[in-house]
Amino acid sequence: MSDGPRNSPVGEAMMWVSRITAIGLAMFLPGVAGGWLDERLGTRFLGPLGFALGLGSAIFSLAGLAGRPGERR
């Protein structure tokens, strides 16, 4: 019986690529949305705030991905 993508090296690689892509988008898209809102509302703080929140989100996701030492995800 199959254990999912972990049986195949290609499946394992695709799983890691999707995780890293999701974390990168979670870091980048809030800043883009904040910049768009800045243009619409005439403000100047939402873009940098979005990037800061995205960075915090990415760090939190990476810490969760790292898990405990010795634990395989």
Q: Pick out the chain residues at pLDDT < 50.
A: 1
- Give pTM, 2 decimals: 0.75
Max CA pair span of the chain: 58
Burial tier of 35 (Cβ tally within 10 Å: 0-12, 13-18, 19+): middle
Query: What pLDDT was estimated at residue 65?
Result: 87
The DSSP string of 25-63 is: HHHHHHHHHHHHHHHHHT-SSHHHHHHHHHHHHHHHHHH
